[in-house]
Amino acid sequence: MAPIVSINNLSKTYEGGHHALRDVSLDIEEGEILALLGPNGAGKTTLISIICGIVSPTGGTVTVGGHDVVDDYRHARTLIGLVPQEITLEPFEKVFRTVSFSRGLFGKPPNSQLISDVLEKLSLLDKKDSAINQLSGGMRRRVLIAKALSHEPRVLFLDEPTAGVDVELRKSMWSIVRDLKKNGVTIILTTHYIEEAEAIADRIGIISDGQLLLAEDKEALMGRLGRKQMRIDLQAPLDELPENLSNYELERAEDGTYLTYVYDTQADRTGITALLNDLGDAGIRIRDVQTQQSSLEQIFVDLVKETP
Amino acid sequence: MNLQAVKSIYIFEMSRTFRTLLQSIVSPVLSTSLYFVVFGAAIGSRIQEVDGVSYGAFIVPGLIMLTVLTQATSNAAFGIYFPKFIGTIYELLSAPISFLEIVMGYVGAAATKALAIGLIILLTAAFFVDIQIAHPFWMLTFLVLTCVSFSLFGFILGIWAQNFEQLQLVPLLVITPLVFLGGSFYSISMLPPLWQNVTLFNPVVYLISGFRWSFYGTADVAIGLSITMIALFLAICLGIIWWIFKTGYRIKT
Ligand SMILES: Nc1ncnc2c1ncn2[C@@H]1O[C@H](COP(=O)(O)OP(=O)(O)OP(=O)(O)O)[C@@H](O)[C@H]1O
Ligand SMILES: [Mg+2]
């Protein structure tokens, strides 16, 4: 099946000469949830803004549902919903009205039942006649989501939807995202919370300094990255690994003061118990044990560090 | 054409007017009444007649133009500046609408409001002086054309402005002097010859002259010239707007 969003060699140089995106190519499949991770200023918002028509690209093309976002913007944008990173709402406007306005802008006939349903789903129905400036920050963010959902998009961009949102609300947003996915909506979200990406994404993309470093299936990535390291500090330095420990993935530090053991957290048996037993049998006395997660976070940090 | 979007913008903008109904309508009515008290009654009692029309009645078209020009300009300017300022313009840019539709929505609403205010002032004036309208059709045509072209001008201003000072300065420093010096309160023929010629560079002269002609049948400049000048102004504004949207000037990076 043709990808719903296809990004080809996209680049953006802002007026000051800053390269915000460098030759980014990525296909997004219909119905998937893609999480984009990357440090501040990596280019996540720029990427989304180009797809949605807010920023003009300096090179490359994007199609949404097969429609070029520049040449055939009407068809492309009809499919897209955007929840921007910044909360931008008219302060004196009423919730229901501002959400209905969004629907109208996208050329859809008025449908107050649908708007009510959207508000209901976002627990905003009781606030429908409140002015925006009477809402809390979390509620305002949900109004932004309601605006994006009001015109029934096929592709939804969520730029840091859970920034500054409490744990409970974050969980409820995740469930909204999952519901949308069930209805076949494709979701692209950016986040700084790696556990968020782990929790809801099907695929994870990492952007740093305008470059897409990787875009990989989450399970595969976790499998590759879900390894742990255990550092075993010894009472006395060890010159050589004893015979009975040779079949462990063990590494001896140069000065022999500690050993490192790498194991797979996803595996049924980590081999830790056996290793500790065998260490005891060999008469090696342990001073301390530390473990370190080479999680998504670790890989993320390593990847980002590598790019200059 | 996404007419639904044009309609949505138009209604949204109009409802902003209704929310601030008091300041939208009461203030022009009040200031017009003040003008009548000062110019019509106090000063006008000494001027008697201009071009065969009582001074009080003579200033009505100019007064209407003064308010309509200022209102059309500042309403349209504010209408598009506001979303730019608070950031909600992202929604306009990401919606499946063309620039033409955005302009139709915003300029349409600003022009409607200016037209309504113009008519309200006309009604208010009728309480103070006797008004005849010799050419009602042309009177309305002039009024509508003026509302539309100055709303377009205001729209350009709103896109161009980068802060509130700029937004307010242009109506204050450009529009008001042009209208005052454009013959709102006097006939150009009352000026010394040199100033009569200088005045002809003021585009508002043509507006007011044409508009006054539609009331009393007398004009400072030929009526055809008035219409041509308004059409020209309209065309220039449309050209600039077309260019703004083509290049994304100050709205798209
Ligand atoms: N309008 C602009 N003009 C000039 N430079 C810009 C503009 N917008 C963004 N940039 C620059 O482009 C780079 C990418 O910005 P972008 O907003 O895309 O980052 P981001 O990945 O979304 O960051 P964050 O996680 O902080 O939201 C930054 O260095 C930023 O300074
Ligand atoms: Mg961002």
Alpha carbon nearest to ligand 1 atom 1, residue: B253
Contact between residue A155 and residue A5 where contact means Cβ atoms under 8 Å apart: yes
Give the residue with greater pLDDT, B216 vs A194. B216
Rounded Cα distance, B39 and B110, in Å: 28
Distance from CA of A12 to the nearest CA of B (A): 10
Strand order in the sheet with A258-264: A250-252, A258-264, A227-234, A286-294
**Distance of CA A282 to CAs A3, A33, A230, A250, A274, Å?**
57, 50, 19, 14, 12
Of the candidates A55, A91, A106, the beta carbon closest to that of B96 is on: A106
Contact between residue B124 and residue B29 where contact means Cβ atoms under 8 Å apart: yes
A308 pLDDT more than 60: no
Tens digits of per-residue pLDDT, B14-73? 988 887 777 777 887 888 888 888 877 777 777 777 777 888 888 899 989 988 998 999
At A244 the pLDDT is 83
Q: Note whether B253 contacts A92, CB cutoff 8 Å.
A: no
Q: Note whether B87 contacts A86, CB cutoff 8 Å.
A: yes
Percent of chain B with pLDDT over 70: 99
At A63 the pLDDT is 97
Identity (one letter) of the amino acid at B161? A
Helix ranges (H only) for chain A are 44-52, 73-78, 95-105, 112-121, 137-149, 167-182, 194-200, 218-225, 272-281, 296-306
At A307 the pLDDT is 57
Percent of chain A with pLDDT over 70: 93
**Contact residues on chain B for A97, CB-CB shorter than 8 A:** 12, 15
Contact between residue A249 and residue A302 where contact means Cβ atoms under 8 Å apart: no
Matching CATH number, A5-223, of 3.40.50.300, 3.30.950.10, 3.40.50.620, 3.50.50.60: 3.40.50.300
A287 pLDDT more than 80: yes
Alpha carbon nearest to ligand 1 atom 11, residue: A20
Matching CATH number, A226-295, of 3.10.20, 3.30.70, 3.40.1000, 1.20.120: 3.30.70
At A99 the pLDDT is 97
At B95 the pLDDT is 96
pLDDT band of residue B134 (cuts 50, 70, 90) is: very high
Rounded Cα distance, A31 and A18, in Å: 33
Tens digits of per-residue pLDDT, B141-189? 999 999 999 999 999 999 999 999 999 888 888 888 888 888 888 888 8
Lowest mean pLDDT, pick from A125-129, A200-204, B44-48: B44-48
Give the residue with greater pLDDT, B10 vs B200. B10
Pairing of strands A33-37, A203-208: parallel
At A166 the pLDDT is 80
What value, to the nearest 5°, has the Cα angle with vertex A156 and ends A154 and A157?
155
Contact between residue A86 and residue B88 where contact means Cβ atoms under 8 Å apart: no
Q: Which residue in this structure is represented by tokens 């406007």?
A: A93
Give the pLDDT mean for B217-244.
90
pLDDT band of residue A306 (cuts 50, 70, 90) is: low
Of the candidates A56, A75, A82, the beta carbon closest to that of B248 is on: A56
Strand partners, A33: A187
Q: What's the start-to-end Cα distance of chain A, in Å?
A: 36
Burial grade of A59 (CB within 10 A; 0-12, 13-18, 19 or more): middle
Residue A9: both structure tokens together? 């060699």
Contact between residue A261 and residue A269 where contact means Cβ atoms under 8 Å apart: no
Is the distance from the beta carbon of residue A44 to the nearest atom of ligand 1 less than 6 Å?
Answer: yes
- Average pLDDT, rounded, for chain B: 88
Q: Which of A49-63, A163-177, B43-57, B156-170 has the highest mean pLDDT?
A: A49-63
Query: How distant is the alpha carbon of residue B220 from its chain centre?
Result: 20
At B90 the pLDDT is 94
Q: Note whether B96 contacts A15, CB cutoff 8 Å.
A: no
Q: Note whether A102 contacts B91, CB cutoff 8 Å.
A: yes
Alpha carbon nearest to ligand 1 atom 28, residue: A41
Of A32, A34, A37, A33, give the one whose Cα is nearest residue A194: A37
What value, to the nearest 5°, has the Cα angle with vertex B192 and ends B190 and B194?
135
> Does an H or E element contain B61, and which?
helix B55-86
Strand partners, B61: none
Residue A18: both structure tokens together? 């800053």
Residue A185: both structure tokens together? 């909506």
pLDDT band of residue A296 (cuts 50, 70, 90) is: low
* A200 part of contact set with chain B, CB < 8 Å: no
B199 pLDDT more than 80: yes
Give the pLDDT mean for A106-129.
95
Give the pLDDT mean for A113-132.
94
Rounded Cα distance, A264 and A194, in Å: 20
Rounded Cα distance, B70 and B12, in Å: 22
Tens digits of per-residue pLDDT, B82-120? 999 999 999 999 999 998 899 999 999 999 999 999 999
Distance from CA of B39 to the nearest CA of A (A): 39
Is the distance from the beta carbon of residue A46 to the nearest atom of ligand 1 less than 6 Å?
Answer: yes
At A293 the pLDDT is 65
Interface of A with B in 30-89 (CB under 8 A): 52-56, 73-78, 80, 82, 84, 86, 88-89
> Does an H or E element contain A190, and which?
strand A186-191
**Contact residues on chain A for B88, CB-CB shorter than 8 A:** 88-90
Burial grade of A140 (CB within 10 A; 0-12, 13-18, 19 or more): middle
Distance from CA of A98 to the nearest CA of B (A): 9
Q: CA nearest A153 in B: which residue?
A: B95
- Report the phi/psi class of residue A66: left, alpha or beta, with left for phi > 0 and alpha for psi in -120 to 50: left
Give the residue with greater pLDDT, A253 vs A111. A111
At A273 the pLDDT is 87
Query: How distant is the alpha carbon of residue A275 from its chain centre?
Result: 37
**Contact residues on chain B for A103, CB-CB shorter than 8 A:** 8
Mutational pocket test of ligand 1: of A36, A44, A307, the residue with most ligand atoms within 8 Å of the beta carbon: A44
**Contact residues on chain B for A14, CB-CB shorter than 8 A:** 253
Q: Ligand 1, closest atom to CA A43?
A: 18
Cβ partners under 8 Å of residue A27, min gap 6: A3, A5, A6, A7
What value, to the nearest 5°, has the Cα angle with vertex A52 and ends B4 and A308?
170
Of B179, B166, B156, give the one whose Cα is nearest residue B70: B179
Give the pLDDT mean for A280-297.
80
What value, to the nearest 5°, has the Cα angle with vertex B153 and ends B150 and B155?
110
Is the distance from the beta carbon of residue A86 to the nearest atom of ligand 1 less than 6 Å?
Answer: no
Q: Dihedral of the CA atoms A216, A218, A222, A224 (nearest 10)?
A: -30
Rounded Cα distance, A128 and A117, in Å: 11
CA–centroid distance, A85 to ligand 2, in Å, is 6
At A198 the pLDDT is 84
At A170 the pLDDT is 86
Tens digits of per-residue pLDDT, A224-278? 666 678 889 999 898 888 888 888 888 888 888 999 888 876 677 778 888 888 8
Instruction: Note residues around ion ligand 2 (Cβ under 5 angstroms).
Output: A 44-45, 85
Contact between residue A289 and residue A232 where contact means Cβ atoms under 8 Å apart: yes
Alpha carbon nearest to ligand 1 atom 25, residue: A40
**Distance of CA A140 to CAs A95, A96, A122, A166, B87, Å?**
9, 12, 11, 13, 14
Count of C-beta atoms within a 10 Å radius of residue A18:
12
Identity (one letter) of the amino acid at B242? W
Q: Ligand 1, closest atom to CA A210?
A: 14
Q: Note whether A91 contacts B94, CB cutoff 8 Å.
A: no
- Average pLDDT, rounded, for chain A: 89
**Contact residues on chain B for A73, CB-CB shorter than 8 A:** 96
**Distance of CA A11 to CAs A61, A145, A156, Å?**
9, 28, 22
At A266 the pLDDT is 67
Strand order in the sheet with A80-83: A80-83, A155-159, A186-191, A33-37, A203-208, A211-217
Cβ partners under 8 Å of residue A180, min gap 6: A149, A156, A187
Q: Which residue in this structure is represented by tokens 């010239």?
A: B225
- CA torsion sign for A126, A128, A131, A136 is positive
Q: Note whether A78 contacts B96, CB cutoff 8 Å.
A: yes
ipTM value: 0.87
